[in-house]
Amino acid sequence: MIAVLGGQAIGWMWVWPALVVAGSLIIGYAAVNLARGGRESSRIGAGAGAAARRIRDECYARGEIDEQEYRRRRSVLP
């Protein structure tokens, strides 16, 4: 064992602490992400909301929905 530590293996001693730190960071990130409510729900939700608003505005611009319907949909999806 002492011969291994005195030889080339001593250069690899940084690998285990680095793996422990990296693993801890990954587990911490996963825990925070799950606590927020899911894997990608916040990014997907924001993109879906923007797409829905764009479609709603386009329908109103084309005359497919009247102002009353536009305002009703706008109150549901700000």
pLDDT digits 0-9 by tens, 20-51: 999 999 999 988 888 887 655 555 556 778 88
Count Cβ atoms below 10 Å from residue 71 Cβ, excluding itself. Answer: 12
Residue type, 77: L
Cβ-proximal residues to 52 (8 Å cutoff; 6+ apart), any chain: 77
Terminal Cα-to-Cα distance of the chain (whole angstroms): 67
Residue 28 falls inside a structural domain: no
Residue 59 falls inside a structural domain: yes
Total structural domains in the chain? 1
For 25, what's the count of Cα atoms within 13 Å in the CB-facing half-sphere? 6
Residue 67 falls inside a structural domain: yes
Q: Would you state the pLDDT for residue 67?
A: 92
Structure-token pair, residue 17: 């602490």
Q: State the residue range of the domain holding 58.
A: 37-78
Q: Would you state the pLDDT for residue 1?
A: 46
Predicted TM-score (pTM) above 0.85: no
Helix, coil or strand: residue 14:
coil
